[in-house]
Each structure stands twice: as structure tokens, then as C-alpha cells.
Amino acid sequence: MEIEQKKQLLNDLGTGQLIKDIKAQEDILESQLKQDALYRSQNVPYLASYGDDCTEVKGILADLALEPPLSTDSKKLTAAQLEAWLRKQRSENVQLKNAIVQQNFVTFQVETNRIQTDMAKKRLESLKGLLGLRTAQVEFLARE
């Protein structure tokens, strides 16, 4: 293969643009990670783990549990009655209901951020894999 052909092949590989694309994707990933960290720090009271309520909802439920109504026979509620009453408050108590809505919104947004970050990581991995292929092609052309 002639030197001019090799030069043309090397130029056609687009390695320079690929390196720029990798840098751009790294910047996108870094930006998404920072945005997610900021969002989480701004919504700490509403961050919930899977299958559990956030601290804001737990706090409201704890406050409600301190002063539950009396049963129909004017006695304290049993544990089962208290649990049922607290479950009912999730749809009747406006403050608790709003906190649950906010918790669900924050959870949805955190999951959306995670998906976007995972996608950015995958795109970056793909670009780096392509760079590895280009590097192998350059090495092959350099040996000829």
C-alpha cells in the first residue's frame, strides 16, 4: 500500500472527531452526574428507598401516630386499628397526601436521572470501544 493511500485511510478513519466526541460525551456524563447530585441534595427529605417512605412522610406519620383519635368506645386504638387509621390518613390527610405526591415525583425524577446517566455511560463506552478499533486499525496500517 502506498504512503498516500495510508495517509488517506488514516484521515478517513475520523479518529480526531472520535476523540472530540468522547470528550463531549464525558462532559455530558459529568453534567448529568452533577445535576443528579444537586437534585438529590435539594430533595433529601423526599428521597425514598424502594418499598419504604421518605423521611418527610415518615415524620408526618409519626406525628399523626402520637395523637390518634379514640376508638368508637372512647378507648385507645389497638395496634391494628392504629395501623389501619394511619393507612387511611395517606389519602385523607392533605399534608401527608402532598408529601407522598412529592415523594413519588422525586422518586420518578431520580429514576429518570439514573436512566439518563446509564445511557450516557453506555454511549461513552461505545465511543471508547470504537476508539480501540480505530487504534488497532492505525497500528495495522503502521505495520504494513
- Give the Cα separation of 142 and 105 in Å (integer): 55
Q: Which domain holds residue 117?
A: 3-143
How far lies 123's CA from each of 19, 25, 73, in Å? 13, 7, 65
User: Structurally, how many domains does the chain consist of?
Assistant: 1
The predicted-structure confidence for 82-115, as pLDDT tens digits, reads as follows 999 999 999 999 999 999 999 999 999 999 999 9
The predicted-structure confidence for 3-19, as pLDDT tens digits, reads as follows 777 777 777 778 889 99
Q: What is the pTM of this model?
A: 0.80
The overall average pLDDT reported for the chain is: 92
Q: Count the residues in the chain.
A: 144
